[in-house]
Amino acid sequence: MTAATRTQIRQPAPRRPGGLFRHRDFRLLWTGQTVSAVGSNVTAVALPLVAVAVLDATTFQVAVLTAAAWLPWLLAGLPAGAWVDRVRRRPVMIACDLASAALFLSVPAAALLDLLTVGQLLVVALGAGLARVFFETADQVYLPTLLRPEEVPEGNAKLHATQTASYLVGPGLAGLIAQLAGAVTAVLLDAVSFLVSALCLRGIRAVEPRPGRPDGPSSLGREVADGLRFVVRDPYLRAMTLFGAASNIGLTGYQAVLVVFLVRSAGLPPGLVGLLIGLASVGGIVGASLATRLARRLGSARAMLLAAALTGPPALLIPLAGPGVRVVWLVLGGALVSLGVAVGNVVKGSFRQTYTPHRLLGRVTVSMQLLNYGTIPLAAMFAGVLGTAWGPAGAIRLMTAWLALTPLLLLLGPLRRRRDLPASPP
| Highest-scoring range by mean pLDDT, 41-50, 70-79, 302-311 | 302-311
At 11, is the pLDDT very low, low, confident or very high (cuts 50, 70, 90)?
A: very low
Nearest alpha-carbon partner for 363 in 232, 242, 207: 232
Helix (H, G, I), strand (E, B) or coil at 113: coil
Report how far residue 300's alpha carbon sits from residue 111's, in angstroms, rounded to the nearest whole number: 49
Longest pairwise C-alpha distance within the chain: 69
**Average pLDDT over all residues of the chain:** 79
Closest CA to 353 of 214, 147, 76, 164: 147
Query: Is residue 302 one of the residues assigned to a domain?
Result: yes
- Say if CB 156 and CB 139 are below 8 A apart: no
pLDDT > 60? residue 215: no
Within a domain: residue 11?
no
pLDDT at 199: 93
Task: For the full predicted model, state whether its pTM sits above 0.75.
Answer: no
pLDDT at 218: 54
- DSSP-H helix ranges across 147-234: 152-181, 183-202, 220-233
Q: Is the pLDDT of residue 384 over 70?
A: yes
pLDDT at 133 over 80: yes
- Domain tally, the chain: 1
- Rounded Cα distance between 417 and 367, Å, is 25
Predicted confidence (pLDDT) per residue in 81-92, tens digit: 777 777 888 898
Helix axes 300-311, 327-355, angle to 10 degrees: 150
Residue 217's pLDDT band (boundaries 50, 70, 90)? very low
Q: Is residue 350 situated within a structural domain?
A: yes
Domain range holding 174? 22-205+222-417
Residue 4 falls within a domain, yes or no?
A: no
| Continuous segment of H or E residues that includes residue 376 | helix 361-390
Asked whether the predicted pLDDT for residue 275 surpasses 80, the reply is no
Local confidence band at 6 (pLDDT 50, 70, 90 cut-offs): very low
CA trace torsion 7, 11, 16, 19 (10° rounding):
40
Closest CA to 420 of 236, 160, 233: 236
| Length of the chain in terms of residues written | 426
C-alpha closest to that of 108 among 42, 154, 153, 166: 42
Q: Is the pLDDT of residue 119 over 80?
A: yes
- Is the model's pLDDT at 212 over the cut of 70? no
The CATH number assigned to the domain holding 81 equals 1.20.1250.20
Cβ atoms 156, 26 nearer than 8 A = no
In a domain, 362, yes or no: yes
Q: Does 3 score more than 50 pLDDT?
A: no
Query: For residues 426 and 196, which has the higher predicted lDDT (pLDDT)?
Result: 196
Whether 69 is covered by a domain: the verdict is: yes
Question: Phi/psi class of residue 324: alpha, beta or left (left: φ > 0; alpha: ψ in -120 to 50)?
Answer: left
Would you state the pLDDT for residue 213?
59
Question: Is the confidence at residue 209, as pLDDT, over 80?
Answer: no
Say how many C-beta atoms besides its own lie within 10 A of residue 314's C-beta.
Answer: 22
The answer to the question of residue 426 being in a domain is: no
Residue 360 belongs to a domain: yes
Q: What is the predicted pLDDT for the residue at 391?
A: 76
